[in-house]
Structure 1
Amino acid sequence: MHIESEPPATIENNRPPSSWAYKGRIELTNIKVSYRLNAPLVLKGITCTFKEGNRVGVVGRTGSGKTTLINTLFCLVEPESGGIVIDGLNICYIGLKDLRMKLSIISQEPTLFKGSVRLNLDPLGLYSDQDIWVALEKCQLKATISRLLNQLDSSGENEL
Structure 2
Amino acid sequence: MVSVERIKQFSTIQPEATWHIEDCLPPPNWPAHGHVELKELQFRYRPNTPLVLKGITLSINGGEKIGVVGRTGSGKSTLIQSLFRVVEPTGGKIIVDGIDICKLGLHDLRSRFGIIPQEPVLFEGTVRSNIDPVGQFSDEEIWKCLERCQLKDVVSSKPDKLDSLGK
Normalised to the residue count of structure 2, the TM-score between the two structures is: 0.79
Alignment of 1:88-103 (within 5 A): 88-103=98-113
Aligned to 1:51: 61
RMSD: 2.3
Structure 1 residue aligned with 2:96: 86
Alignment partners' CA distance in 1, 2:86 and 2:54 = 17
Identity %: 51
Contact 1:112/1:120 (CA < 8 Å) preserved in 2? no
Distance 1:12 1:54 in 2: 31
Q: Deviations over 1:40-86 (max 9, x none)?
A: 32212211011133233333333322221111011111111111112
**Shift in Å, 1:23:** 2.4
TM-aligned CA deviation for residue 112 of structure 1: 4.3
Q: Secondary structure at the match of 2:23?
A: helix
Are 1:31 and 1:81, in contact at CA under 8 Å, matched by a contact in 2?
yes
Deviates more, 1:72-81 or 1:17-26: 17-26
Matched residue SS, 1:14: coil
Structure 2 unaligned residues grouped into runs of 5+: 1-10
Residue 29 of structure 1: aligned partner: 39
Distance 2:137 2:120 in 1: 21
Given the alignment of the two structures, is residue 122 of structure 1 paired with residue 132 of structure 2, yes or no? yes
Residues of 2 paired with 1:10 and 1:126: CA distance? 18
1:66 aligns with 2:76: yes
Matched, 1:154 2:138: no
> In structure 1, what residue type is equivalent to 2:126?
S
